[in-house]
């Protein structure tokens, strides 16, 4: 392998995954720039994504391409590139969620534009894995997830619910409207805060659904909640902060409280994000392992139930991609300078490569229920 030229080396690796260059299968890639091979060998996964954004290669079924690539365990066959190693070292040295850094994910990703997310996510504006059992469409599947999650909390009307990383407020509205809970949400996105509070006002929810622009680190310890939930936010907290997060949850939870953590997870413990996702989609983020979560929660909360919904994220991402393509002309027309062809290629690469990670089983989605009192009676809600 070491003596092969860059093109031959890339061809050989891809052939082991059942992928041809300029082949006829939908998962084969078509290379438009001969510098592609050297760029990938020098820059690894970051260069693969950037070269796609630059139009250096194409693939009819990018989701299938990534599924094949990951199922072949190509990541174990290639040497980690220097940029990946540097990112891991930086993550070990620096706290990527310290101070103002906690707000960067909101500013760079969640504030990209509500019109974009309205078109892509659909009516619920839920930006996390939908639950597809018995669902025929994305809206129904997301509503399934909201109800399924709330029921696990075994709440009574009038209870207080804190949503850490509340997004555009879909779970809050569901909990306030249909379960009569008094909800507070926090988000590090100004756009999400404003959008959620406007939507809540349309439903006349009053003090039953309020959203604040706030880090979880700044939640006051003198305010305690009956129930706490966090869906799709833990991935942005960074491993250096996991234990502090569980300590915070414990400190603001009533003695008979229940906490539901919903997070994407990885099979292996890592300390940094995948380089392309770090640079273009989710800065200062990473996927936790179950080992890291268990270590951080130990001594703080008692784990009562775990559910894996990882394979539901593949159809969720494909539904978001279908919505993106269906509405692309109007998205592009709303802001052609920012929503240009390169942006579309970036979003395509993001959604379809992530679909491949879940379809291949590399990534998981966990819902973990905790109680503060280890002796509290808890029965899993189906």
Q: Is 354 a catalytic residue?
A: yes
Round to whole Å and give the CA distance between 219 and 172.
18
**Helix, strand, coil percentages, rounded to 5, for the chain:** 50, 15, 35
Q: Return the beta strands (E) in the chain as ranges.
A: 29-31, 57-59, 160-164, 182-187, 209-213, 225-231, 253-266, 302-308, 363-371
Question: Dihedral of CA 125/128/130/131: which sign?
Answer: negative
List of residues 6+ apart from 188 with CB closer than 8 A: 102, 103, 105, 106, 110, 165, 213, 214, 215, 236
Alpha helices in 77-189 (DSSP H): 82-93, 104-105, 114-121, 138-151, 170-179
Judged on CB neighbours under 10 Å (0-12, 13-18, 19+), 95 is: middle
64 in Cβ contact with 84 (< 8 Å):
no
Q: Check 331, 354, 355, 368 and give the catalytic one.
A: 354
Residues annotated as part of the active site: 354
């Amino acid at each position: 392998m070491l003596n092969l030229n860059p093109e031959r080396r890339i061809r050989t690796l891809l052939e082991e995954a059942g992928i041809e260059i300029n082949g006829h299968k939908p998962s084969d890639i078509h290379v438009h720039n001969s510098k592609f091979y050297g760029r990938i060998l020098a820059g690894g996964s970051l260069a693969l994504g950037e070269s796609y954004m630059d139009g250096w290669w194409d693939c009819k079924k990018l989701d299938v391409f990534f599924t094949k690539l990951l199922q072949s365990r190509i990541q174990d066959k290639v040497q980690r590139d220097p940029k990946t190693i540097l990112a891991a070292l930086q993550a070990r040295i620096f706290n990527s969620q310290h101070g103002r850094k906690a707000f960067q994910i909101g500013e760079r990703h969640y504030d990209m534009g509500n019109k974009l997310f309205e078109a892509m996510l659909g009516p619920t504006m839920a930006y996390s894995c939908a639950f597809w059992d018995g669902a025929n469409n994305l809206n129904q599947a997301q509503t399934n997830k909201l109800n399924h999650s709330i029921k696990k909390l075994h709440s009574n009307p009038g209870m207080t619910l804190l949503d850490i990383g509340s997004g555009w407020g879909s779970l809050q509205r569901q909990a306030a409207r249909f379960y009569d809970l008094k909800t507070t949400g926090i988000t590090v996105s100004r756009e999400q805060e404003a959008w959620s509070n406007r939507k809540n006002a349309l439903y006349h929810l009053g003090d039953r659904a309020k959203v604040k622009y706030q880090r979880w680190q700044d939640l006051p310890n003198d305010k305690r909640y009956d129930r706490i939930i966090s869906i799709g936010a833990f991935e942005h907290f960074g491993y250096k902060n996991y234990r502090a997060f569980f300590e915070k949850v414990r400190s603001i939870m009533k003695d008979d409280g229940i906490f539901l953590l919903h997070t994407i997870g990885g099979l292996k413990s890592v300390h940094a994000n995948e380089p392309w996702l770090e640079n273009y989609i989710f800065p200062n983020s990473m996927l936790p392992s179950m080992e890291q979560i268990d270590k951080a929660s130990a001594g703080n909360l008692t784990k009562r139930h775990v559910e894996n919904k990882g394979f539901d994220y593949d159809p969720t991402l494909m539904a978001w991609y279908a919505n993106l393509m269906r509405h692309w002309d109007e998205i592009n027309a709303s802001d052609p300078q920012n929503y240009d062809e390169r942006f579309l290629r970036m979003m395509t690469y993001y959604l379809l490569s992530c679909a491949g990670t879940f379809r291949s089983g590399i990534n998981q989605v966990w819902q973990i229920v905790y109680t503060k009192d280890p002796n509290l009676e808890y029965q899993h809600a189906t």
